Every structure is written in C-alpha cells, then in structure tokens.
Amino acid sequence: MDRSIVSPLVSLLTIFLILASPAAAQSTGTVTGRVTDAETGRPLPGVNVLVDGAAAGPRGTSTGPAGRFRLGPLEAGTYTLQARFVGYAPRSREVEVPAGDSVRVRFALSPRTVGLEAVEVTARRETPGASEQLQKADIQEANPRDAGELFRTMAGASAVRRGPVGLDPVVRGLRSGQVGVYVDGMRTMPAGPARMDSPLSHTGPSTMQSIEVAKGPYALTWGGSQLSAVRVETNDLFSVPPGEVLSGRMKTGYDTNFNSYDVTGTADGRAGAFAYRVDGAYRRGNAYESGGGREVPADFLNRELRAKVGYKLGDNQRLTAGGGYQQQDDVAYPGRLLNAVFFKSGRGRIGYEYTPGTGLVRSVTAKAYGYQTLHTMNNEGKVTYASEDFPGPPLRVAVNADITTFGGRVATELALSPDLRLKVGADAYRAYRDAERPFQVVMNGEPKTPGFYESNQIWPGVSIADAGVFAQATRLFGAVEATGTVRADAVWAGADEAQVTDVYLDIAEPGDGSLDAEQLDQQDLTVSGAVRLSAPLSEAWTLSAGGGTAVRTAGALERYADRFPSNKAQTSSEFIGDPTLDPERSWQADLELKARYDRAAFKVSSFARHLSNYITLGPAPDVEPMLPLPIFAEGPFRYTNGTATYYGGEATASVAVLPSLTASAGASYLWGQNRETNQPALGVAPLRGTLGLRWEPPEGRFYVEGTL
C-alpha cells in the first residue's frame, strides 16, 4: 500500500467534514431539468413549465432546443411544477427547493390527450467531477452498431476498434484495465484475453438508457481499481404509465457503410405495483467494400434477449431483478491471427431501492449480480491455416476462455443538514478467469503439438477480488458546492499453481533468479481520494475545479501472461507478466468553465495527469519467444512499472441560430509521454475537431443533421 498518501487523504476528509458544519444558507434556490418524449426519449423544445406556489404568484419558462429549462431564483419551499405542451398530456410534480441549492427534475411527456397518471421521474446527481453524459434520445439518434461508437461522440472520450462489434472505450488516453466499466452497477470485463471484445460489446445499444463517463478519479463511489470509469444504465422499468399492461415497439435498419442490418424489439408494461420489460435484438453483418474497392471482412451474427421485472413495495421502495443472454457467432477480425467462433454471455442481478426523498436517510440501495462469458477463437480461414497461403506448415491455433464474475454493492445517502449530504457504502467483486491457447503444427496431414510449445495457458486459473469502502460528502458554502470523496480498497490476486509452469516462474523474474510459487498470490491495500469545487460566476456561467488520486492494480495478463500478446501494445510481440507489479496510481487536476443560455451552451475543460508506477512495457532480451512466428519476431517484452504524464482539454459549443436550426462545434487535444521510454504514451489520439448543423422543425417529428 502507498502509505505516504494515506494520512494526507484521511486528514483531508476529516478537515472537509469539520468545515461542513451547518452554516447560514441562502434563502433561495433554483429548479433545473429536461423534458423529453416518453416514447422516443427525444428532447422537447418549447414546452411550458409552470411553477405554482411561488410567493409572487405563478411563474414559468419554456424549454430550449435540448429540452432543458431553468426556474429561479425561488424562495426555499415546496412547489408544484407542471409541464404542458400541445399534443401531449400535461404532467405535474411536487418538488422541494432547498435553500442555496438547485433541484433537478425530469419530465417525460406522453403524446396522448386522455388523462393518465404522471410518468414517474427520477433525478440523478451528476458525477462530482469531469464527466460527460448521453441520454436515451442521444443514443437513439446515433443509432450505433455497438456502444463503443457512442464514445466517439463524447468530448474527451474515444474508442479502439475490436472487430466489427466491439469498440473499447478510451478516456483521455486511459484504456483497457485503466477504465472501469459498469452496466446497471455490475463491474463488467471482456472475455477475450487479447481483448477481442470490449466490456460493452455484450450489451446492445438498444437496451441502453444512459451513458456516463467519469474523466478522471471522480468515480470512486462506483467501484475500485480504476483511474476513470464508464457507467451504463439500461432501460427503466417504471417509465411506462401505470395501468398500461402491454406496449411494444419494433425497429429495423440497414447500414450501407458496413453492409449490416439489425432488428430490435421491446415489450413492457405495468399492472399495479408490478412492472416488466423485455428487450430483444438480432444483428448481422457482412463483408463490405472500402473506398478503394477492397473487400473488408466484417462478418458477425449477434442475438440478444434481456428481461427485467420490478415490484413496488410502497411509494418509496422497490425490488428489481433482471437477466439476459447474448450470443455472438462467426465474428471476423481482419488483420488478426484469429477469428472469433463465438461469445456466449449470460448475466443476472437483483436489487433493492429505498428513496424517501425527505428526512435524514435520502436513499438506500443494495444489489447483487453475477455473469459468465465463454469465448472461443481459432485461425480457420486465416492464411496460417493452409500451407499454400503460408510460408510454412499449416497451423491450428485456438483460444478458449471463460470469465465468471460475482459482485455486490450497498450504499446510503444521508441529508445531515440542508447544506450537507453524505454518501457511504461498500462494494466488492470477484472475477475468475481461465484461458488456454492450443497450438499445433500440421505435419503429413496430422496436427501435432511441437516440442518448443512449453505451455498453452493464458489465464492459469486467475482470481482477482476487490473489496472497498467509500465516503462522499457534498457541502454548500454559500453558492459554492464542494464535494470530497475518499475510498479504500483491498485487492487479492492469485493463480492456480497447478496450471503455472516452471518456465514461467523462471522468466517472470528479470535476470538470473526465479519467482517462488508463493509469489503468485498477492495482496494490495490502496487509498484514493478526490475533491471538487463548483461555483456560479453568474446565472449562466459556472466554474469548476477538481483534483484527486486513484489507484488500479495490475490485471490478469499483466500479472500472469506467459509470452502472450498484449492488449495495450501496438505490436503483436509476446509479453511476460509479473505478479509483483506495484499498483498504478494517477494524480489528476481539472479545470472546467461552462455556460448555458436559452439558445446557446458552451463548455471548455482542461486537465493534467501524472501516473506513478505506470504499468508499461520493457524489453526481455534474456527470454526466447515461445512461438517462432514472423509476427513475434520482435520481443519478447515484459510488463514493468514506470511513469507517464498526460495533459489536454476539450471544448464544445452549440447555438440555436434559428428556432429550428442549431449549429455545434467541438475540439479535443491530448498529449501524453511515457517517461521510461521517452516516447508517446499509449492511447494518445490526434487533435480532433467537429462541426455540426441540425435542422429540426418545432413539431420535432423529424430532423436533418450533418457533421464534419
């Protein structure tokens, strides 16, 4: 454990909580929110939002181009908000405006004229730090083939292509195990040892309600062992109006660029306290022609079925359960040694929520989950499979992998005073990985394992478990909102000694020594923390600053790889793991300035990051390659600790030039250097800029959008 930072972090949180004692609060607050179509999730511009109960009489405003509105200042107290729009049933909600604070409200208007009960709305606090979000309407409009495509539309985020149905998220240069991924609170990881799938490639975009990206050490309440994080919430159970027992939707489309098509369908309903939802999808892709007329293999077949059920125990309590199964077959990976035969992924979860909304305890949540993904790849159809296409005897290469994960979480949020919120909780998961790589040479028509092939183990029965506790305090100092978070984690990592070869123990230790079998089992104790300050400069402009440190421990390949390709490197060389690698620590500072007007919005953000014990790659000149293939001629290399530095920033702007015409622009820049090799750090994207123009008539029935 990095003991040098424990005392400062504990002292920081202690001082923060002491300073957070109740003080005289401002006497007014504001209400902000968004209005969307309940069926499509699209934002509704021009909606009248009225507030009743104000001291000066009824007040109101209308939503802007993105469906957003702002009301205030309002005297602290209870108000009734009503959203009204032609062609939609009006919706009302009672809200309590706290002194010196802002309350968030979301309305989903149903396009009906008959009387219906209000669609239930939920308000989620933004992550207290640099973050980006996409909502249901954004996801539907993007119509992505997979979730990874959505990251390329978000400032500070990008993605690495992992075949035709997988894009791995990259967040300000952080990638692979540095980015934690959560789906409905489940810590999600890829099944392929070489990361031929991404953590999100087993969740169809049609099932996604929202995506949030924490661009630094600000997701400490989500989970541990990560330097940034992505959180996906799937479609809400209780968005259906009460009494609507059955409703359904179906959608199909064809992508000419990638010669692929998909069909998705949903059935949902509510009856009394019970609600359910079923989502299904069928997607198929085929080879397509590039701009130069060259055929690019991009075949895949994807089937998915997911279901959720929920039961309201009362106005403030609910039980939910869900599960799903997805299978991908015959996934082509052009330019790679292997293609995927299949991915089979099944998952299930159960959860409890208590959200009274008033009093000391504002929420209690608990959930447990489990999932398994099975995966097989081979070289059938590749040039190495037949001797006439390969300068050598035919090869039979395969990868068989299994990842099984169980986890859970419990958290509560307390309102200690009108100005002070405290969230405390704990979470844990255990991931078991087992993978092997059979390798045979065909001689005289007979496949045989060659004598030089010393081991077929990739993940030798690897178990990694993480258990953590966290506390987050949010305090208002006048108009300034301050948030401090601290987290402690214990991590256990180990491998099945019976599957680990003596050769690996010899080469995993640099030099002439060798590892003891006892060193396969490792424990790490880590502490992370972050602080965020946000202050309004005016009614439209807000300045935010933050900083913190987060830790992630080495992954399965980084610890136990026996001359296997790395999913972090830009080369096909073989790499050697080290069970004794130190945890990677990030130190990051952020500054953000944003403004929001009725017809315009701007945001500029910048950051600087230093990685100590950066898990990087170094030469292993004393080790011979396991496979005598041309692609492995360079190397082997080994995982080692080093240092790295990053800095960069993003800027976005959107302006409603006309009531029906919106112009947008964005730019991002990232610089990163590996201090050990004095070379650019992995994951650094080039300077990027976008320009967009969107025309959408006031009725919102269709739109035309172009992006450059």
Q: What percent of the chain has pLDDT over 90?
A: 46
Under a CB-based contact definition with an 8 Å cutoff, are residues 423 and 221 in contact? yes
The CA–CA distances, whole Å, from 314 to 278, 318, 354 equal 23, 7, 9
Residue 238: which pLDDT band, with cuts at 50, 70 and 90? Answer: confident
What DSSP element (H or E) covers 67?
none
Residue 542: name the closest of 467, 584, 594 by CA.
594
- Say what the pLDDT of residue 552 is: 96
CA distance 1 to 158: 32
The answer on pLDDT for 569 being more than 60 is yes
Residue 127: which pLDDT band, with cuts at 50, 70 and 90? Answer: low
Section 271-296 average pLDDT: 87
Section 254-262 average pLDDT: 82
Under a CB-based contact definition with an 8 Å cutoff, are residues 53 and 81 in contact? no
Residue 111: which pLDDT band, with cuts at 50, 70 and 90? Answer: low
- Say what the pLDDT of residue 701 is: 65
- Cα radius of gyration rounded to whole Å, the chain: 26
The answer on pLDDT for 233 being more than 60 is yes
Task: List, for residues 633-674, the tens digit of each pLDDT value.
Answer: 787 999 999 999 999 999 999 998 887 888 999 999 999 999
CA distance 545 to 469: 25
The answer on pLDDT for 46 being more than 50 is yes
Task: List, for residues 466-504, the tens digit of each pLDDT value.
Answer: 999 999 999 988 888 899 999 999 999 999 999 999 999
Give me the domains of the chain, ranges plus CATH numbers. Answer: 26-109 (2.60.40.1120), 131-230 (2.170.130.10), 231-707 (2.40.170.20)
In what side-by-side order are the strands of the sheet with 77-84?
59-62, 48-52, 77-84, 91-97
- Give the burial class of 28: count Cβ atoms within 10 A of its Cβ; 0-12 exposed, 13-18 middle, 19 or more buried: middle
The answer on pLDDT for 228 being more than 50 is yes
Task: List, for residues 423-475, the tens digit of each pLDDT value.
Answer: 999 999 999 999 999 999 998 889 999 988 888 889 999 999 999 999 999 99
306 vs 314: which has the higher pLDDT: 306
Task: List, for residues 307-332, the tens digit of each pLDDT value.
Answer: 999 999 988 899 999 999 999 999 99
Residue 639 pairs with which residues in a beta bridge? Answer: 617
The structure tokens listed for 24 are 């005289």
Average pLDDT taken over every residue of the chain: 85
Under a CB-based contact definition with an 8 Å cutoff, are residues 603 and 592 in contact? yes
How many beta carbons lie within 10 A of that of residue 354, not counting itself? 16
Of 188-202, 260-274, 364-378, the one with minimum mean pLDDT is: 188-202
- Say what the pLDDT of residue 98 is: 82
Task: List, for residues 57-81, the tens digit of each pLDDT value.
Answer: 557 888 877 788 888 888 888 888 8
The answer on pLDDT for 397 being more than 80 is yes
Angle at 662 between CA 658 and CA 663, to 5 degrees: 120
How many beta carbons lie within 10 A of that of residue 3, not counting itself? 8
The answer on pLDDT for 571 being more than 70 is no
φ and ψ of 206, to 5 deg: -70, -20
**pTM of the predicted structure, to 2 decimals:** 0.81
The CA–CA distances, whole Å, from 120 to 85, 92, 248, 274, 315 equal 18, 10, 19, 14, 11
205 vs 559: which has the higher pLDDT: 559
Task: List, for residues 330-343, the tens digit of each pLDDT value.
Answer: 999 887 889 999 99
Of 106-115, 169-178, 478-487, the one with minimum mean pLDDT is: 106-115
Under a CB-based contact definition with an 8 Å cutoff, are residues 105 and 93 in contact? yes
Residue 61 pairs with which residues in a beta bridge? Answer: 49
- Say what the pLDDT of residue 126 is: 53
Under a CB-based contact definition with an 8 Å cutoff, are residues 352 and 344 in contact? no
Section 542-569 average pLDDT: 91
CA distance 511 to 531: 43
Under a CB-based contact definition with an 8 Å cutoff, are residues 114 and 197 in contact? no
- Mapping DSSP to helix (H, G, I), strand (E, B) and coil, where does residue 489 land? strand
